[in-house]
Structure 1
């Protein structure tokens, strides 16, 4: 037995082969490009309109365009387009190419008898054919292209068919191998057009195979495999993750996180070649020996010492460029200025990766520091001495310090927030701005932006178990946060309605209600960050619970990028908006929910709630919440929780409950450094109706900056 190789001389099956291989690569690639993000929203986020243009706007715009190109994944899109074009061309070739189907040897068809024909009928048919089809009885006909060889071959086929149906050995060969002559040679069909294997093309075919299979395929597989192995699931190099692990400490601030992030190897891909050392002396002089009026003077001594102690030039330059960006330090060298902004998107990604490292250890302080650094990187603010008013256009550190000195804010631990400044009467704001050197037109532009910022004010927070009235040990608890978007300086804020603070569970089995809650998600406006080179995105809010006494994370952060109600609507025109659409709050109460397992023992558990916005400084909220876990089968637990829920609702509405036989707990609200204590209310009777969703504990909340 021999092997026979049959090439696709007429290119009949070559398109099938190419189509199959191309589809195996193109379809998964297309799926990754079209795959919907994890959090889908029904509408597109709107930008905040402002005519303000920062310094170095051309450099910032160039970096933003660069980030957009990366996010568009042009290489993958181009590869998918080429794949689909190739598949379309192969389909076209398949439709226009004439194909010959393989002929199956069938003795019944050759003798022209039925499958149920008996041996007598087969013999009779063979005798009749021998009279007409035998070579001795037929003469070649040139008109029909008949030759003696063709006539002889036809008679041979008739004899084979007759023997296959009458001779036991021949019939056995036909049944087993499909041929009366027995087992035939193995045939391999190669789906390559004939011109590739024609004489004289051998060297080109060998070169093509060597390039594709010997070099291309191993390189592609090796690059993919080692690329997967060299990065973590956060898409950070394993070496970088190890370096940042070494920099972790239990007590860290945002500046320490920036120093830890600078150890990542990703920055060496940006600062490679001649960029490793160029401009380092200029950066050292500007940051380590700043003048009194320099922006770098805001660096703390420990941060300046940490920078000076670095011996690796690449890491030292990386950290110096990050500090130059965070302090908005102008650099004399245009190349350094471009590198300064080029590092920021990478630093933001690595900060999020470092956040996962802090979550593994479980301490609150390093986790908060990562969020604060993300805010500073987004808004280009120093991580140690952050001035929230710098987020508004035309505000400078000198102007802000004059305003704070006038309002005696500088003596306090925290700087003046945007909310505090916009809460002042318009005449007072104008007087402070003019005294600080800010013109009235620029103040109006800043106020116009402030009234569009998505400040999320927490109105209520409570625990519940869906469909249950009590919170029992080890039950699945939902922490519900009710909040409204109230931009700083917004006038005529409507009062809260009691039903807006309820969380009524959908009816059991109501799948439409659950699907509606999942699909109707609306993003907040895009982050207003004119100094950031990163691509435009909506802010995210991170909610977690911490044990304040131990300084540890009790419930890891839940991230919210979209909400069940539309936060803002778009109005036409507006002062300072240059005729663009102006965002106006809808004052709808949005609901944030995070789910976790209750402690296994009954009792009261006090947590510190943290609601952090990663896009703005001073928009965070923290407060104390209490989780009451009732004992299994213990009576009266529902009564205490209903009293606490009604007490919280009464305080939020500013109303006193009816007097009864049991006193409700005292609720405190903290605003800034002032502490207001509500009077002791007394609850009503136990027959008061309670919403099915209000099955939780009392919440002591405080408004953040």
Structure 2
């Protein structure tokens, strides 16, 4: 048995080979490129406002830069190139003549049907011998009929006859497809012959060596290194390690900002000469007298000294840019101002990584600092800055006029509780706000999704009491009521009830309903955070958790939700006052008793809208609970909570 290698001389099969290989790459890449993004930032509504902050062009430039990354330009080019190659190959398939090798068939040679009997086959053979036997046929040059052709044709007839009548020959045909037994096989290579002939072989070897020995290992290594280089929070592993080493249980928001400057991402952003350019100017502007700098008042003497003594100039610049961003400091330099807006989203991502680290320690203060750092980064306000500066056009001078002689900064809710006429009079005056600017600010306030809790309680599904080790639901009923909203209707008591799910609804029983903790199959998104200085679109998150005030540790880890079960605003942008349901689950303590927790409900996008209340979990002894169940008829779970 021999082997025969042949090439696609006429280019019949080469297009099919190339199309298959190209499609294996192009189809998934095209799907990845074209599939719609499911990110909430791309589908959530926006707070309507015509406010343009200072350097709006730089901020918008950063947004466009990020969107270009999200557009997946590389995948787009690969996809387009792949489809062009496929189109070319399809064209070659259409215009290239194709020949198909004909299989040897004894029935076809004898011109009899496959159902013919042996007698019919013999009769046919005798008939052909009268007209095709070499002794009966004479060569005819005019018909191109040579003696060799006559003999070859008769050999084929004889083989076909024996294949259908001789037992051994027939067995060879049935087993190997040929009357002479196993034949040599031919391996077809789907490459045009010219590629490996005429001195082109060395180039083909070079191409294969480059593809398989260099390019493929490089791509696989780059992919693998890329997956191992980043954490689940999409920050560099080295950055997460730096945050872990600098972690402290009592870290403040200001301390967190200093920790974020250790991120390795800033070395990539500020590489080369950018790492030291403008450091002196930053230091001068940041450390100005507190009365002259928006951020100076928020820095402690320790923070100022630490900043001055930093030896790592790249980290010092990153920290200076962060403080300049939080203080809304004008740097009088286009490059520095642009970098100022670029560092904040990086710090926000690092904050996600720190939050994951803090959750491992279950420390309440560190968790709260992380959530509040997120608020300040998104709103571009330093720790201790007036919450009213979250509103459009509200400068320190306007805030000072609004707060008057107040000893503490007013929250947006406090400001909106001032009678409307007096409120407007406080901030609309020469040197303060114009009427149109005030109206813009009030329009934004009316769209802020402020969550007010109406009821919160513990319950066990299908039971009247909480017993040791049972699966407890903590249910929060609340409404979105923007600050200053007038004529808020009374809550419907029926909406505050929590009906147990059907017995067979395992998804509901185990908290697997869609909507991130809501009871809705079609959750509703709140508007994106109003953050004109933050160069990213951000979907607000609410974090609900319980803390033990005595130990300073978390009793129940945070549950995060970004969607609600019912519409928040109607078609006209007015609040619907729908009662929203949020729930989290945990296992009850192993011992009966009364457990007092502090419930925290924190929105990570707005300053001054957090809520804190005491909640009491009563865990009954199983035997006592059984007696009480027989004696009492309790329709609602016990509710003990107090707003603080």
Taking structure 1 as the reference length, the TM-score comes to 0.82
1:251–1:186 CA distance, 2 compared to 1 (3 A): farther
Partner-residue secondary structure (3-state), 2:330? coil
2:397–2:432 contact (8 Å) kept in structure 1: no
The correspondence of residues 278-297 of structure 1 with structure 2, limited to 5 A, is 278-290=277-289, 292-297=291-296
Partner-residue secondary structure (3-state), 1:295? coil
Whole-angstrom distance in 1 between the partners of 2:184 and 2:362: 70
Aligned pair 1:528/2:515, yes or no?
no
Whole-angstrom distance in 2 between the partners of 1:286 and 1:253: 23
The correspondence of residues 267-306 of structure 1 with structure 2, limited to 5 A, is 267-290=266-289, 292-298=291-297, 299-306=299-306
What corresponds to 1:540 in structure 2? 541
Whole-angstrom distance in 2 between the partners of 1:633 and 1:31: 59
Whole-angstrom distance in 1 between the partners of 2:289 and 2:142: 106
What corresponds to 1:497 in structure 2? 492
Which residue of 610, 613, 622 corresponds with 1:620?
610
What corresponds to 1:565 in structure 2? 566
Partner-residue secondary structure (3-state), 2:570? strand
1:335-360 C-alpha deviation (Å, 9 max, x unpaired)? 11111111222221121122111112
1:74-111 C-alpha deviation (Å, 9 max, x unpaired)? 33344334444544554565566554444333334433
What corresponds to 2:448 in structure 1? 453
Query: How far off is 1:419 after superposition?
Result: 0.4
1:30-67 C-alpha deviation (Å, 9 max, x unpaired)? 454566777879x9432222222111111111111112
Query: How far off is 1:372 after superposition?
Result: 1.1
Whole-angstrom distance in 2 between the partners of 1:143 and 1:52: 96
Deviates more, 1:199-208 or 1:153-162: 199-208
Whole-angstrom distance in 2 between the partners of 1:122 and 1:488: 100
What corresponds to 1:336 in structure 2? 336
The correspondence of residues 54-73 of structure 1 with structure 2, limited to 5 A, is 54-73=53-72
Paired residues in the alignment total 635
1:186–1:428 CA distance, 2 compared to 1 (3 A): same
Query: How far off is 1:417 after superposition?
Result: 0.3
Query: How far off is 1:552 after superposition?
Result: 1.5
Whole-angstrom distance in 2 between the partners of 1:175 and 1:702: 90
What corresponds to 2:239 in structure 1? 240
Whole-angstrom distance in 1 between the partners of 2:614 and 2:34: 43
Whole-angstrom distance in 2 between the partners of 1:533 and 1:555: 33
Aligned pair 1:24/2:32, yes or no?
no
1:460–1:699 contact (8 Å) kept in structure 2: no
What corresponds to 1:555 in structure 2? 556
Which residue of 477, 483, 497 corresponds with 1:482?
477
Deviates more, 1:540-549 or 1:14-23: 14-23
2:427–2:433 contact (8 Å) kept in structure 1: yes
The correspondence of residues 161-240 of structure 1 with structure 2, limited to 5 A, is 161-166=160-165, 170-197=169-196, 199=198, 201-240=200-239
1:39–1:562 contact (8 Å) kept in structure 2: no
Query: How far off is 1:235 after superposition?
Result: 2.2
The correspondence of residues 416-455 of structure 1 with structure 2, limited to 5 A, is 416-434=410-428, 437-441=431-435, 442-455=437-450
1:591–1:127 CA distance, 2 compared to 1 (3 A): same
Where does the alignment leave 5 or more consecutive residues of structure 1 unmatched? Answer: 572-582, 641-684
Partner-residue secondary structure (3-state), 1:137? coil
Aligned pair 1:700/2:641, yes or no?
yes
Partner-residue secondary structure (3-state), 1:523? coil
Whole-angstrom distance in 1 between the partners of 2:557 and 2:35: 27
Whole-angstrom distance in 1 between the partners of 2:40 and 2:344: 26
1:164–1:171 contact (8 Å) kept in structure 2: yes
2:341–2:533 contact (8 Å) kept in structure 1: no
Aligned pair 1:466/2:457, yes or no?
no
What corresponds to 1:347 in structure 2? 347
What corresponds to 2:622 in structure 1? 632
1:66–1:156 CA distance, 2 compared to 1 (3 A): same
Query: How far off is 1:295 after superposition?
Result: 1.8
Deviates more, 1:187-196 or 1:388-397: 187-196
Where does the alignment leave 5 or more consecutive residues of structure 2 unmatched? Answer: none
Whole-angstrom distance in 2 between the partners of 1:637 and 1:314: 68
Aligned pair 1:395/2:394, yes or no?
yes
1:512–1:602 CA distance, 2 compared to 1 (3 A): closer
Whole-angstrom distance in 2 between the partners of 1:47 and 1:237: 31
Query: How far off is 1:428 after superposition?
Result: 2.2
